[in-house]
Amino acid sequence: MLRIARPLARTLPFLVLPLLPAATPTPPDDSHLWLEEVQGERALSWVRERNAQSLGELEAAPEFAPLRDRLLGILDSRARIPYVARRGDHYYNLWQDAAHPRGLWRRTTLAEYRKAEPAWETVLDLDALARAEGENWVWKGSSWLEPELDRCLISLSRGGADAVVVREFDPRAKAFVADGFKLPEAKTQVAWRDRDHLYVGTDFGPGSLTDSGYARQAKLWRRGTPLTAATLVFEGRSTDVSASVYTTVEPGFRREFARRGTTFFTAEHFLGRDGKFERLNLPADVRLGTWREHLLVTLRKDWTVGGRTFPAGALLTMPWERFLAGERDFAILFAPGPREALAGYSITRGHILINTLANVRSRILVATPRPGGGWDRAPLPGVEFGNATASGEDDASDAFWLQADDFLTPPSLFRGEIGRGAPELLRQLPAFFAAAPLQFTQHEAVSADGTRIPYFQVARKDLAADGRNPTLLYGYGGFQISQTPNHRAGMGAAWLEQGGVFVLANLRGGGEFGPGWHQAALKDRRQRAYDDFIAVAEDLVRRKVTSPRHLGIQGGSNGGLLVGAVMVQRPDLFRAVVCQVPLLDMRRYHRLLAGASWMAEYGDPDKADEWAYIARYSPYHNVRPGVTYPRLLLTTSTRDDRVHPGHARKMAARMLEQGHPVLYYENIEGGHGGAADNRQLARMQALAYAFLLRELR
């Protein structure tokens, strides 16, 4: 689902960009190690052979071409909502369609945006740029010089990889700045210090990266000098995940921070004062934010400080001045309940918008400081939606954007101003599939340890409880990422309209009920996420929604690990598996690309006691000959430089070697998202749905 182009919170950028894999000894039992050579000719020859076989089978299916064309029509539809981000007097949008597959970066005014057909001014044509430069550019975002807003840094990726080229751009002249800042292709972290200086973390050469492949050093780079002359201002250790320096700019306030990411979920935070970065006395597992004169802290664990204990999942605040003076009388902006969690927050000029989940349904609060001290909290007026996200338009006004939808209701975009009544509806996506015969319901399954696991079901109102309904179960269960009932137009058209049932599982490891829900499935407790998924599948069979003959599962990335693990643990429970850009070799995951940064989630397989529990679920190490497994479709991307394509390649090779039915498709570009443009995405989705329809009906 497309998102409003504005972060929910002013917090440290959440780093997910990997670098090159570290060297590692070859495990003696891994005969498929050669498939980790991403661009190796032998490996690519194997990929081309597998692709030809899979495409020959799936694209010949009668469902494929109509599905592909319909999905592409949805992705390219001009009726889509053009989400915008405000920069000064303009509202910017990246638009992709059939005529502009790479995209138009364009802008308009609020008065125009309110019209049904706004007049847009093109700022940068990515397709024209790619043709002129002979590059396959994919947009990766912009970072603006504030408060001037007359310069920005544009990040461009070759083929959708996480590695980017960064160039300075003049949005007024609509042109790249001659002799401006320019960084070569790398997994770069960059922030403006001022007009003539950047804070840069990148590959500066030997010793500049962590074992996870992220920048270990941050340097100050002055305009007009070579990058080699940049001055070191902050660094972490090689065993850290990353180190970075960034700035926050709000009306009347400017701050500089440094962050030493010790693990994926922990960090040391530093504030720039008097030319130095001073460490802040905060727990390592908090997330730090700032709003004008206020410090904002999100807790992942209980914190006892100042004579009080604050619960995990709480959002706290206090004035920076008092915090730096040693006081700790935090105010609680949000405290979680048994089935209530913080989903994020966003700021306006005078308020903080707090997005929460109550039993996996959205609630939005407005927190406002009182003139004499303390805070008021109230629901956002006029908002009653199952799935909604509110975000401030900018720091200089109290305007906000509200996006609302659910499984069967297309997204609507509202704009409002806090204190001025209900928000105004500006856009609504048309219905791309027939939702009238459908309904969605919420259910609970009981996991192996007795924990109740919620899940959503989308199906026909007259669904027969005969165990014969083709059913697709989707899950993720990791990294405190919540799965919410948002609209999926492509799934509705390609699956629900074809008579399928869609099920979304809210597994432990996610963030649906706060940090505790996530931490319940960390490391040696990982099996709980898989038990939860199995419990949902069994509950669907118990309720006679479906049966193993008609039940398929799908997941990507960490979700690919999920479906791979349950496939080898319970092959009797499923008929088909769609496993996308997955982790599967958990013995070597930490040696490939960004894998080392995820050891706080999974554990360190080089430690015997941790490998002992990882080995019990690692799909690559648990698939066996002589077992009847569900039919498997594995997809990945050659250009995925986050989760190594070797995971999917090796799993397919091992299963084929053992005589199991496997289809494998690797897109040559597309990055971790699997596709670089709408046409590629439509093809990838159509392959998956054609496979599922054929296997499960």
Nearest 5°: CA angle at 310, between 306 and 311?
A: 165
Pairwise CA distance, residues 386 & 395, whole Å: 27
Q: Can you read off the two tokens belonging to residue 587?
A: 């013995």
Contact predicate 440/407, CB 8 Å: yes
Asked if 514 and 356 touch (Cβ cutoff 8 Å), the reply is no
For 197, the 3-state DSSP assignment is: strand
- Residue 143 falls in the annotated catalytic set: no
Identity of the residue numbered 622: N
Q: Residue 26 in 3-state DSSP?
A: coil
Assign 3-class secondary structure to 525-585: HCHHHHHHHHHHHHHHHHCCCCCHHHEEEEEECHHHHHHHHHHHHCHHHCCEEEEECCCCC
- What tokens were used for 236? 């972490």
Say if strands 182-186 and 164-170 run parallel, antiparallel, or are unpaired: antiparallel
CA 208/CA 217 separation, integer angstroms: 6
Compute the distance between CA of residue 665 and CA of residue 175 in angstroms, rounded to an integer: 39
Residue at 424: amino acid letter: E
Contact 152, 135 (CB under 8 A): no
User: What is the sign, positive or negative, of the torsion defined by CA atoms of 110, 113, 119, 120?
Assistant: positive
The yes-or-no answer on residue 100 being catalytic is: no
Looking at residue 594, what DSSP letter applies? G
**Euclidean distance between CA atoms 10 and 29, whole angstroms:** 47
User: Which residue reads 């459908």 in tokens?
Assistant: 438
> What gap in Å lies between CA 5 and CA 1, rounded to an integer?
12
Instruction: Match 């972290």 to its residue by tokens.
Output: 189
Tokens coding 229: 């002359």
Alpha carbon distances (Å) from 546 to 248, 495, 499, 590: 51, 15, 12, 37
Per annotation, catalytic residue among 54, 362, 557, 637 = 557
What's the token pair of residue 439?
Answer: 């309904």
As beta bridge partners, residue 441 has 457
Give residues with Cβ within 8 angstroms of 184, minimum separation 6: 165
Strand order across the 315-319 sheet: 287-291, 294-298, 315-319, 331-334
Alpha-carbon distance of 125 to 115, in angstroms, equals 23
Q: How many C-beta neighbours within 10 Å does residue 283 have?
A: 14
Catalytic positions are 557, 672
